[in-house]
């Protein structure tokens, strides 16, 4: 297949590109800074010569968007919103104008679209969208607004010959440098990876292998469209999540952090505590109903595999 990936230069793009290329597919990445073969310039906002790559392709996987790992200043929140909505609209225009449009468009969305919740898990049928939860900082609703605007841009794109799927993805765990697993592992290995603010908030996650397999499944299954949760079936509270990660690294200590310590840490790391404190309890209802099975359904086994591969990579670099 010819697979076009706008925004495919980031962590998720690297995971997919490796897997698609290894499977023999032809991958084209759209980026604002092309630096090698297989990369084509786009500005993420307006149709241009890059639309030729979309015309005649089989699949588009749009991953573009300003990183959410930043301080939630008004300017950054606006950039997070605009980069997602504008790039999705631009992809929609390219698909709509194509003489031979792709048969499927996988559009990244996020599990953050669901409400902060502890008591039950969100699937696509019964899940509650966020934005109106009591007792959480008011600005958390902005992340939900971004996700819903992002999905609306997908839904509104006039592309009748192209099936559209919104990937409501949890954190994709891969050993890549700078990815979320890498960041959490650094905390765990330095003894700082304990419970944050009590650690009752749920963490939803998906192992990179299952993320890739789910993408392949959704490309093949012509009966599936609309929002699909891409998350392992067993989200767990943050304190248990970090305990298992520490165990995988062989680190016995994990200092707890209060909410205020987390605020200071996030400030120093130029990030935001919503990423740590929001309870994301999301399960893959539609994938399971459709018969998808997970290679890495439980966090202890997934963490052990990721640690093993991180160590192998570090040994490879050292050699």
Between CA 47 and CA 6 the distance in angstroms is: 12
* Residues forming beta bridges with residue 226, ordered by sequence position: 165
CB nearer ligand NAP, residue 50 or residue 217: 50
Between CA 122 and CA 260 the distance in angstroms is: 28
CA proximity to 84, closest of 105, 95, 73, 68? 68
Considering only 19, 53, 64, 85, the residue that binds ligand NAP (CB under 6 A) is 64
Report 176-205 residues binding ligand NAP (CB under 6 A).
180
Report 103-122 residues binding ligand NAP (CB under 6 A).
108, 110
What values do phi and psi take at 261, rounded to 5? -65, -40
Considering only 3, 4, 5, 13, the residue that binds ligand NAP (CB under 6 A) is 13
Least distance from ligand NAP to the Cβ atom of residue 100, Å: 25
Q: Looking at 119-127, 168-176, 261-269, 305-313, which segment touches ligand NAP (CB under 6 A)? A: 168-176
Considering only 169, 185, 273, 279, the residue that binds ligand NAP (CB under 6 A) is 169
Least distance from ligand NAP to the Cβ atom of residue 39, Å: 8
Q: Looking at 6-14, 92-100, 196-204, 254-262, which segment touches ligand NAP (CB under 6 A)? A: 6-14
DSSP symbol at 170: -
Structure tokens at 174: 């891969």
Structure tokens at 202: 């749920």
User: Long-range pairs for 64-67 at CB < 8 Å and ≥24 separation?
Assistant: 64/6, 64/7, 64/30, 64/88, 65/7, 65/108, 65/150, 67/10
Cβ atoms of residues 171 and 204 within 8 Å: yes
67 binds ligand NAP (CB under 6 A): yes
Q: Looking at 25-33, 94-102, 121-129, 190-198, which segment touches ligand NAP (CB under 6 A)? A: 25-33
How many residues sit close enough to ligand NAP to count as binding (CB under 6 A)? 24
Considering only 171, 218, 276, 306, the residue that binds ligand NAP (CB under 6 A) is 171
Considering only 19, 28, 53, 66, the residue that binds ligand NAP (CB under 6 A) is 66
Coil vs helix vs strand at 177: coil
Structure tokens at 115: 């409400």
What values do phi and psi take at 230, rounded to 5? -115, 90
9 binds ligand NAP (CB under 6 A): yes
Q: Contact residues for ligand NAP (CB under 6 A)?
A: 7, 9-13, 31-33, 44, 63-68, 83, 87, 108, 110, 169, 171-172, 180
């Amino acid at each position: 297949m010819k697979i076009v990936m706008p925004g495919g230069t980031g962590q998720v793009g690297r995971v997919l590109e490796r897997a698609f290329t290894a499977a023999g597919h032809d991958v084209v990445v759209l980026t604002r800074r092309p630096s090698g073969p297989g990369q084509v310039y786009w500005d993420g906002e307006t149709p241009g010569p890059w639309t030729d790559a979309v015309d005649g392709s089989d699949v588009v996987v749009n991953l573009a968007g300003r990183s959410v790992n930043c301080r939630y200043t008004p300017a950054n929140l606006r950039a997070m919103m605009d980069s997602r909505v504008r790039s999705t609209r631009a992809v929609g225009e390219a698909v709509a104008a194509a003489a031979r449009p792709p048969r499927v468009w996988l559009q990244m969305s996020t599990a953050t679209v669901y409400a902060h919740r502890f008591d039950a898990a969100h699937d696509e049928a019964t899940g509650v969208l966020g934005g109106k939860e009591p007792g959480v900082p008011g600005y958390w609703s902005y992340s939900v607004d971004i996700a819903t605007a992002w999905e609306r841009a997908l839904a509104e794109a006039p592309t009748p010959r192209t099936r559209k799927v919104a990937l409501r993805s949890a954190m994709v765990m891969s050993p890549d440098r700078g990815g979320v697993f890498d960041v959490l592992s650094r905390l765990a290995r330095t003894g700082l990876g304990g419970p944050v603010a009590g650690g009752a908030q749920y963490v939803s996650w998906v192992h990179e292998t299952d993320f890739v397999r789910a993408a392949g499944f959704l490309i093949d299954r012509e009966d599936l469209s609309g929002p699909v949760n891409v998350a392992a079936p067993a989200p767990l509270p943050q304190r248990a999540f970090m305990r298992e990660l520490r165990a995988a690294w062989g680190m016995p200590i994990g200092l707890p952090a209060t909410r205020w310590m987390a605020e200071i840490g996030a400030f120093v790391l130029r990030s935001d505590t919503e990423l740590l404190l929001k309870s994301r309890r999301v399960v893959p209802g539609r994938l399971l109903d459709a018969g998808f099975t997970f290679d890495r359904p439980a966090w202890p086994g997934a963490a052990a595999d990721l640690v093993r591969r991180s160590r192998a990579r570090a040994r490879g670099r050292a050699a």
